[in-house]
Structure 1
Amino acid sequence: MNRTDRLYALVEELRAVAPEWRSAAWFAARFEVSSRTIERDLSALQQAGVPIYATPGRRGGYAIDVQHTLPPLNLSAAEAAAVATALAADTAAPFTHAGRSALQKIVAVLGDVDAQGVRELASRVRLFDDAEDRPAPSAVVERAIVARQVLDLTYCDKAGTSTRRAVEPVAVLGVRPHWYLWGWCRLRQEPRSFRLDRIGAATMTDEPAPDRGLDPAELELAELVGRGILGT
């Protein structure tokens, strides 16, 4: 068994017995390698973001948090290349950095033949875009949306006026060709949207954003434009 297959098997074994533990010695006997090799493999999985936890001591071992993992994905070369192409198509889209990290994990668990197929197919995809370069959204904004924490940011509106605002983030809205942060603006005391490329410095505070019942999925685009929320 090569290392890629062993890493895959380690995760699958931990998922199968979760929330029970498996020791490095147990894995070493199972895969006919040394305990040190198993410990290096598990450490590599942890560094890659797999939620594996260790308990020290003679009866300690390793376990995985199945609530924060996905089951195995059997992607073809074309499917993996499609993910890569979608990520490359719009570098200004939200969570682009997280998407690229996910793609690296996908390629890492593919077999050598499949991974080579992905690279070969991706090399035959070319994207030409004559639009102006658009900066990627701030990773701080992305983390605040996920954590639902209040953002402290500076924003330059369409008139060129820069203001400092506290914003309770709710979601990201895409209205081509721009992306917007949708949330409650404490400066204006109403829901507002902010073009991501006009957000300057942004800091995620320690304050949780309260639930104000804002649901962007229920809002009509015409209403947003009519109220002057989009394009501020």
Structure 2
Amino acid sequence: MNRTDRLYALVEELRAVAPRPRSARWLAGHFEVSVRTVERDINALQQSGVPVYAEPGRTGGYCLDKARTLPPVNLTPGEAVAMAVALRQLEGTPFRGPAGSALRKLVAAMQGDDAAAARDLAGRIHLLGDAGTMPSVPRLVADALSSPRVLRIGYGDREGAATLREIEPLGYVGTATHWYLVAWCRLRDAVRAFRTDRISAVTITAEVPPPRALRGEDLDIPYGTVRQLTLS
């Protein structure tokens, strides 16, 4: 068993007996590795965010917080490929990178035969033309809401005049052709929308911006209807 498979199997073993613990010695015997290897594997899982903790005592061991984990994801090969096709529509948006990472995690969690079938099916699908029409969003701009910091950006307006701005990111607005980063602009002392393809440079500062709400009136766009994204 390679290490990737063993890490996955470790989580499933701990999930199966949770909240009871499994000792490092028991796990080492079960997976036919050394206790030191088990300890390294557990440390790797903890570093990646898996909620595994050590319970001390003679009957202690490693436990999994079952309430903070998900059961195995059982995507069909067709569902996995459908998600991959849908991701092509995210090219040029701030969410292409996280979406690709999420799909890789889901495929890694599939049963081995299903994952192989999904890869075979994907290899039979070909798309004509470019993946998207919008320019890509700089990674630091795409991460602006996930890691809230004041950004220092170089920005060119529609006439091509360049300015240096310090902004406090608040949200995104996407249209059929462009994405905009909505932010509090310290130069203008007001909310502004910055077209992402006009951002020429980005620097993340160490400053955490003060809390600001993105109000409906801040998105008073004179054309079209703005709809908030939901996950339901």
TM-score, normalized by length of structure 1?
0.75
Which residue number corresponds to residue 224 of structure 1?
Answer: 221
Structure 2, unmatched stretches of 5+, are 224-232
Compute the displacement of 1:175 (Å): 0.9
- The number of residues matched between the two structures is 221
CA displacement, residues 65-111 of structure 1 (integer Å, 9 cap, x when unaligned): 77875443221111111221122333211132222222222222222
Confirm or deny that 1:87 pairs with 2:87.
yes
Q: 1:68 to 1:128 in 2, by over 3 A?
A: farther
Q: Counterpart amino acid of 1:51?
A: V
2-side partners of 1:40 and 1:120: how far apart?
34
* 1:105 aligned counterpart, secondary structure: helix
Which residue number corresponds to residue 100 of structure 1?
Answer: 100
Which residue number corresponds to residue 207 of structure 2?
Answer: 207
Which residue number corresponds to residue 229 of structure 1?
Answer: none
Q: Counterpart amino acid of 2:210?
A: P
2-side partners of 1:79 and 1:25: how far apart?
39
Task: Name the % identity.
Answer: 47
Which residue number corresponds to residue 195 of structure 2?
Answer: 195
Q: 1:213 to 1:44 in 2, by over 3 A?
A: closer
Q: CA RMSD, aligned part only?
A: 3.6
Which residue number corresponds to residue 230 of structure 2?
Answer: none
2-side partners of 1:220 and 1:128: how far apart?
39
* 1:101 aligned counterpart, secondary structure: helix
Confirm or deny that 1:162 pairs with 2:162.
yes
CA displacement, residues 132-171 of structure 1 (integer Å, 9 cap, x when unaligned): 8644212212333112221111111221111111111111
1-side partners of 2:68 and 2:199: how far apart?
31
Confirm or deny that 1:178 pairs with 2:178.
yes
Q: 1:36 to 1:106 in 2, by over 3 A?
A: farther
Contact 1:4 1:111 in 2 (8 A): no
2-side partners of 1:208 and 1:193: how far apart?
20
Q: 1:161 to 1:22 in 2, by over 3 A?
A: farther
